Structure 1
Amino acid sequence: MRHVTPILASSIVTLAVIGPLLYTTSAHRAAPVATIDLQKLVEAAQSRQLASFRASHGAQAVPSASDAQAAVDDTARFARELSVAVDTLGRTCRCVLVNKAAILNTEVVADYTDALRTQLKLDQSTGARK
């Protein structure tokens, strides 16, 4: 019993000193960085749009003015969906999302491109909607 009291007192003092330090360090830690390959997502959306046009008009059809306007509207809709998806993903992962093209060493950074591709229902190989 004589040896237990100093050990217990030492442990309590150590926790009292280290506890606030650990809290301060963890509370002020910078958010982790993750990437999204925006180029791949945009290319997949373009492929989806082109496949849709070819399916409805044929491979050799020339787009009309209404087709061009529909393409602009589809592109604007995709841009809004992508923006909302990126904002939602940033809040969910509690991380800073950066375009993958801006990162030089991507091996140590998490990549959420596939998660967004799934959320936006883009097929990886053709860009067509699933």
Structure 2
Amino acid sequence: MNLSTRMFEEELANSDKIVQNGREVYKWAVTTVPKGMQSVMKNASIPLNEVDWFVPHSANLRMIESICERSGFPIERTLYSLVDYGNTSSATIPLSLDKGVTEKKLRNGDKVLLYGFGGGLAHAGLLIKWTL
């Protein structure tokens, strides 16, 4: 059985297998995440430039670079784990935080913006104060 469906105005063929339209997911992420980051910061009443570290889901480096570029957040203050571990799905943010601790980047009192996105095109962000 070959069914079809639509995603972002594009017809997708369904061959009864799990598929991903990578190009459209990429476009969605690099558009949605920077807007979501701004929303988190607005709700916290803190400008983005006061964030010490940005920790996004580590889907791929090109995506992270584009999100940083579009949001105006420096890639140098972004923690990611994919270079060492690849895309580990829901573990990317905790792995990135661990890497930040191990490399002595995260310091007590740092403001850290966590941002996850993935399955079902769900996304959420959270601003925390690092106190461990």
Identify whether the pair has TM-score above 0.5, normalized to the shorter chain.
Answer: no
Structure of higher CA gyration radius: 1
Greater share of residues in strand: 2
Q: Please, what TM-score do these two structures have when normalized by structure 2?
A: 0.32
Greater share of residues in helix: 1
